[in-house]
């Protein structure tokens, strides 16, 4: 556990990446697996994760991402896109995945499926989209911790124009919406931010014991 805390102390939101350094395929697969294994509500994972390496695409995304250099300089850009048309079809696919993975009859989890549908398919579109968007933050948290464990720098990003990102990536046609971004790579030696003391609330400010 002490190693985990030291790792979390090491990480920070990198402002300047070294564009010459790339993440290995092996490490990228580990990061993908960390995202895949993330917790989500009901286990439904109502999102997709786009891994963008294409420099031309990233150049188009930079102006609609507040001009941030990380978009083009980092080794990889990830876009977490929440599903906007999540419904009974996706829930049924999840149930079938459970049946196949655990080798159990569909009838044994039919009640669970009905429960999920009663809670989710009745939500107004805006609330459903908000719910699916929230799930991406859980996956992002797993990514940040896994990247730090590998000593890979990561920057979570909300600073972008979602509608324009959706247009550039063709997400609307896929029933998706850009919820979050994360840039991955290695800090540049000139990034002064790496030397800043980490600023967090004290335990007394942050926690309430009841």
Which residue ranges form the domains of the chain, and what is each CATH number? Answer: 40-188 (3.40.109.10)
Global pTM reads 0.96
Question: Tens place of pLDDT for every residue, the chain, 210 residues?
Answer: 679 999 999 999 999 999 999 999 999 999 999 999 999 999 999 999 999 999 999 999 999 999 999 999 999 999 999 999 999 999 999 999 999 999 999 999 999 999 999 999 999 999 999 999 999 999 999 999 999 999 999 999 999 999 999 999 999 999 999 999 999 999 999 999 999 999 999 999 999 999
Polymer length in residues for the chain: 210
Tell me which residue has tokens 């102006």. Answer: 63
- Contacts of residue 34, Cβ cutoff 8 Å, sequence gap at least 6: 142, 143, 145, 146
Handedness of CA 186, 191, 195, 197 (dihedral sign): negative
């Amino acid at each position: 556990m002490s190693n985990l805390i030291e790792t979390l102390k090491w990480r920070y939101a990198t402002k300047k990446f070294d564009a010459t350094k790339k993440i290995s395929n092996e490490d990228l697969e580990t990061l993908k697996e960390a995202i895949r294994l993330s917790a989500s509500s009901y286990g439904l994972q109502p999102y997709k994760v786009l891994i963008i390496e294409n420099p031309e695409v990233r150049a188009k995304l930079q102006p609609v991402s507040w001009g941030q250099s990380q978009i083009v300089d980092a080794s990889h850009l990830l876009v977490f896109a929440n599903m906007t048309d999540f419904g009974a079809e996706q829930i049924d696919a999840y149930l079938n995945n459970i049946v196949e993975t655990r080798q159990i009859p569909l009838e044994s989890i039919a009640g669970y499926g009905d429960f999920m549908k009663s809670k989710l398919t009745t939500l107004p579109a805006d609330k459903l989209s908000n719910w699916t968007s929230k799930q991406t933050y859980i996956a992002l948290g797993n990514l940040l911790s896994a990247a730090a464990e590998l000593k890979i720098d990561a920057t979570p990003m909300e600073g972008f124009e979602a509608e324009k990102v959706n247009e550039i990536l063709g997400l609307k046609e896929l029933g998706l919406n850009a919820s979050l971004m994360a840039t991955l790579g290695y800090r540049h030696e000139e990034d002064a931010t790496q030397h800043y003391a980490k600023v967090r609330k004290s335990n007394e400010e942050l926690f309430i014991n009841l």
